[in-house]
């Protein structure tokens, strides 16, 4: 790379949340001199950036980076050559397939990597002979994807951030905390819309930075319905029944563009609003007022998050949001819709390209003969016709039906629920390869570790929360012996199956194949993406992309939006004498998922270096807990030690903590019970108890071993 090229900043996309903010990375004379620069006219964020984006470059040249391939021998890692690693990986993959069957392997994609890399990983898995490929969407939005795809046609935001900011009168934000998890979307789009006159209705068990950001005047344009965890369905049923009772519905839209309305009415015929409000822990008159604001608005938009999806009834939760939007006619035009806020920079794209066990690129079902044939014609091999296992199901089978796993950029030992049990089961595997940039908690158990390049050192595309496909561009590699994820997967594929189908020179060549098999990407090329990107679907070259979906019809078999009445399903665990509190979890603004990157950032870690738990003053008094005291939080699956924070931000009877910190992760406590359809775990509700830790300097608890 020439000096001139080195001095020029590189335009790319922030590696953290799904908003898709543009940033610039500048590399100095030495490769490890990497700095952040704002991108003033970036299409999504227009130069604004949150604390994570501004600190994103701090981990690129971090001293903990994996810089050499590693092989484990006699329980210890030693440096190895790439050739040794490739030979070992190919040998083990061939052995497992020969001794067992292709379904004895599992493949973990990553929403922190790019479309091209996830596309190639899922193609590799299917060429190997299995649909056991999944990604972290299973942990955050699988139920949202299921409900939206089934009832409307596409598992994605129906609208774009820009049209929502400019056209929405009422924002219904349920189970999402954009003030903390999507700060630029919150400040630049939601808060700005409120300053311009919009109303915000927030539904969440926890008062948070979103709550604070909308408390900007004395009007009633912000409501916070602070419900009990796991009671989203009865609250929405109150809203829907109130709309029905007052005729705040769009009868013409219902008649012409929906199906299933009679089922919804029948479900709610004997529904008791008063009893449901008591169960929710929210005054009935507040819910009814919120219903009126949403249902009578000219344009109302729903935003949904993991507080809705991470339940054993996650699909039903999101379906009820869809029901509300459909009966009020709030779909198919600007300023409306049902809009999931994606938590990682490429959650949307990783699903788009087929890194899921039941769908091929473009959400084509693997058990649909016609869809499968269209992909096979391009790939040149047969795809297994039966859906595979999800990542949680794969983890449940470690050492039993699953003998080996290939993990790219994921950390299931921390990210999956009942994490202590995951760590136990993973040791039963016969073989595991981990491809990552740091020694994660999962990598510690690997047989082979492949040092990948970071987000800033390679190119490709990512798809943000509102379906905008954008290009990332890379700087010079910081460490010479690291390799790009795409090059690693290509090499493994060529060695296993030959050059045909896996010998790719660069991401653009992979993208060209991807768009052949992914209908919503057909009309995209790298040149057409440019710096602005394009919202899918783009079915033909020249399409400019759709900022909102379903203007004329829904993308379902009938062309109609599906309404379906749903009834309350309580959490799998509710408080009892042994565990009298209910635990719920969420992310922090300054941290990210399992903390692999954010805990290594001096700027971010300085903000919140250790985990903590929020507890209501009445509960704190009952337990004899004061702010700043060290407490032990326990569930039926484990325990963690954290600092108590006594606050009215959380409801009485509820405690709240985070998953970001290895020694004290909430996921050592969370329940791995799954939604029957989407197979997403119930992170948001677990029976818990708490007590003051007697000895601050005592050894770590068994849960931390």
- The Cα–Cα gap between 427 and 434 comes to 14
Cα–Cα distance for residue pair 13/25, rounded to 1 Å: 10
Both 530 and 593 in a single domain?
A: no
Residue 215 pLDDT: 79
**Band (209; pLDDT cuts 50, 70, 90):** confident
Residue 576 burial class via C-beta count within 10 angstroms: exposed 0-12, middle 13-18, buried 19 and up: exposed
Query: Considering the domain boundaries, does residue 553 fall inside one?
Result: no
Which helix (DSSP H) or strand (DSSP E) does residue 371 occupy?
helix 369-379
Residue 90: exposure state from Cβ atoms within 10 A (0-12, 13-18, ≥19): middle
Indicate the SS3 state at residue 132.
coil
For residue 700, being part of any structural domain is answered with yes
pLDDT of residue 2: 39
What are the pLDDT digits (tens) for 488-515?
999 999 999 999 999 999 999 999 999 9
Predicted pLDDT of residue 595 = 87
For residue 698, pLDDT over 50 is answered with no
Q: How would you classify residue 354: left for phi > 0, otherwise alpha for psi between -120 and 50, otherwise beta?
A: left
**Cβ-proximal residues to 458 (8 Å cutoff; 6+ apart), any chain:** 114, 472, 474, 484, 485, 486, 507
For residues 489 and 616, membership in a common domain is answered with: no
Residue range(s) defining the domain that contains residue 679: 581-704
Please compute the mean of the pLDDT values over residues 252-279 and round it to a whole number.
98
**Mean pLDDT for the stretch of residues 514-532:** 97
Q: Do 126 and 166 fall within a single domain?
A: no
Torsion angle in degrees (nearest 10) through CA of 598, 600, 602, 606? 60
User: What pLDDT shows up at residue 700?
Assistant: 40
The pLDDT of residue 5: 46
Of 205-219, 239-253, 541-555, 586-600, minimum mean pLDDT range = 205-219
Where a domain ends, among 340, 370, 403?
340
Query: Would you call 168 helix, strand, or coil by DSSP?
Result: coil
DSSP 667: G
The pLDDT score that the predictor gives to residue 106 is 98
Q: Pick from 289, 311, 340: which residue ends a domain?
A: 340
Using an 8 Å Cβ cutoff, are 243 and 264 in contact?
no
Residue 354 clears pLDDT 70, i.e. is over it = yes
Using the 3D structure, point to which of 59, 78, 98 is the last residue of a domain. 59
**β-strands 22-27, 10-13 pairing:** antiparallel
Q: What is the pLDDT of residue 210?
A: 86
Considering the chain, what percentage of its residues have pLDDT values greater than 90?
87
pLDDT digits (tens, 9 = 90+) for 71-120: 999 999 999 999 999 999 999 999 999 999 999 999 999 999 999 999 99
The C-alpha torsion from 45 through 533 and 488 to 142, rounded to 10°, is 70
pLDDT tens profile 451-491: 999 999 999 999 999 999 999 999 999 999 999 999 999 99
Q: Which residue has the higher pLDDT, 695 or 23?
A: 23
- Count of structural domains within the chain: 4
Residue 572 in domain: no
Is 153 inside any structural domain? yes
Segment 160-167 shows an average pLDDT of 91
Instruction: Summarize pLDDT for 391-437 with one digit per residue, the tens.
Output: 999 999 999 999 999 999 999 999 999 999 999 999 999 999 999 99
Two structure tokens written together for 693: 């830790």
Residue 695: predicted pLDDT: 53
Q: Does 556 reside within a domain?
A: no
Same-domain status, 147 and 287: yes
Mean pLDDT taken over the chain: 94
Residues 50, 75 share a domain: no
Same domain membership, residue 101 and residue 207 = no
Does residue 314 lie in a domain region? Answer: yes
pLDDT at 9: 95
pLDDT > 50? residue 612: yes
Mean pLDDT of 171-190: 91
- Is residue 560 assigned to a domain? no
Phi/psi of residue 40, nearest 5 degrees:
-60, -35
φ, ψ for residue 9, nearest 5 deg: -65, 150
Q: What is the mean predicted confidence (pLDDT) over 574-592? A: 93
């Amino acid at each position: 790379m020439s000096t001139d090229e080195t001095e020029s900043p590189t335009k790319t996309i922030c590696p953290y949340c799904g908003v898709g903010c543009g940033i610039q990375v500048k590399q100095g004379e030495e490769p490890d001199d990497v700095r952040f620069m704002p991108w003033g006219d970036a299409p999504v964020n227009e130069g604004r950036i949150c604390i994570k984006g501004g600190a994103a470059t701090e981990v690129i040249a971090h001293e903990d980076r994996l810089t050499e391939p590693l092989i484990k021998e006699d329980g210890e890692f030693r440096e190895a050559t790439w050739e040794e690693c490739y030979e070992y990986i190919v040998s083990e993959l061939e052995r497992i397939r020969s001794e067992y069957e292709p379904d004895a392997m599992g493949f973990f994609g990553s929403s922190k990597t790019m479309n091209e890399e996830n596309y190639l990983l899922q193609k590799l898995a299917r060429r190997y002979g299995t649909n056991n490929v999944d990604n972290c969407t299973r942990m955050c939005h699988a139920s949202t994807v299921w409900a939206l795809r089934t009832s409307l046609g596409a598992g994605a935001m129906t609208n774009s951030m820009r049209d929502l900011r400019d056209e929405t009168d009422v924002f219904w934000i349920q189970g999402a905390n954009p003030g903390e998890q999507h700060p630029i979307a919150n400040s630049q789009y939601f808060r700005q819309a409120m300053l311009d006159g919009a109303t915000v209705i927030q539904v969440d068990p926890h008062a948070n930075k979103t709550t604070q950001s909308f408390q900007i005047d004395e009007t009633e344009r912000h409501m916070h319905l602070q419900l009990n965890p796991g009671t989203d369905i009865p609250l929405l049923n109150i809203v829907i029944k109130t709309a029905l009772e007052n005729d705040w519905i769009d009868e013409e839209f219902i008649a012409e563009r929906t199906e299933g309305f009679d089922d919804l009415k029948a479900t709610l015929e004997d529904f008791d609003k008063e009893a449901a409000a008591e169960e929710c822990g929210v005054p009935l008159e507040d819910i009814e007022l919120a219903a009126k604001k949403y249902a009578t608005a000219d344009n109302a938009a729903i935003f949904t998050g993991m507080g809705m999806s991470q339940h054993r009834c996650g699909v039903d939760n999101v379906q009820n949001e869809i029901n509300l939007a459909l009966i009020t006619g709030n779909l198919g035009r600007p300023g409306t819709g049902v809009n999931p806020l994606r938590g990682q920079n490429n959650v949307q794209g990783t699903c788009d390209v087929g890194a899921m066990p039941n769908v091929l690129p473009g959400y084509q079902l693997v058990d649909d003969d016609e869809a499968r044939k269209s992909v096979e014609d391009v790939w040149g091999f047969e795809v297994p016709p039966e859906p595979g296992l999800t990542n949680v199901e794969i983890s449940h089978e470690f050492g039993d039906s699953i003998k080996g796993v290939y993990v790219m950029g994921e950390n299931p030992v921390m990210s999956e629920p009942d994490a202590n049990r995951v760590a136990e089961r993973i040791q039963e595997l016969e073989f595991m390869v981990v491809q990552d940039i740091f020694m994660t908690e999962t990598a510690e158990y690997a047989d082979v570790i492949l040092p990948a390049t970071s987000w800033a050192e390679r190119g490709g595309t990512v798809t943000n929360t509102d379906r905008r496909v954008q290009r990332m561009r890379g700087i010079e590699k910081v460490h010479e012996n690291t390799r790009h994820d795409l090059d690693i997967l290509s090499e493994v594929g060529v060695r296993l199956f030959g050059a045909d189908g896996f010998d790719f020179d660069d991401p653009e060549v992979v993208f060209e194949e991807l768009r052949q098999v992914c209908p919503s990407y057909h009309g995209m090329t790298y040149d057409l993406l440019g710096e602005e990107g394009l919202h899918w679907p783009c079915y033909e070259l020249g399409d400019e992309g759709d900022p909102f979906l379903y203007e004329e019809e829904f993308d379902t078999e009938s062309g109609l939006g599906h309404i379906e009445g749903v009834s309350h399903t309580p959490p799998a665990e509710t408080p009892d004498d042994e565990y009298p509190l209910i635990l719920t979890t969420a992310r922090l603004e300054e941290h990210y998922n399992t903390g692999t990157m954010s805990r290594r950032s001096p700027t971010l870690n300085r903000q919140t270096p250790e985990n903590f738990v929020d507890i209501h003053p009445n509960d704190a008094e009952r337990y004899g807990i004061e702010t700043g005291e060290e407490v032990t939080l326990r569930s039926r699956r484990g325990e963690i030690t954290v600092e108590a924070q006594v606050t009215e931000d959380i409801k009485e009877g509820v405690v709240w903590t985070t998953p970001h910190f290895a020694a004290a992760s909430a996921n050592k406590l969370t329940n791995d019970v799954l939604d029957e359809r989407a197979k997403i775990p119930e992170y948001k509700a677990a029976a818990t108890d708490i007590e003051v830790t007697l000895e601050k300097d005592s050894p770590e608890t068994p849960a931390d071993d």
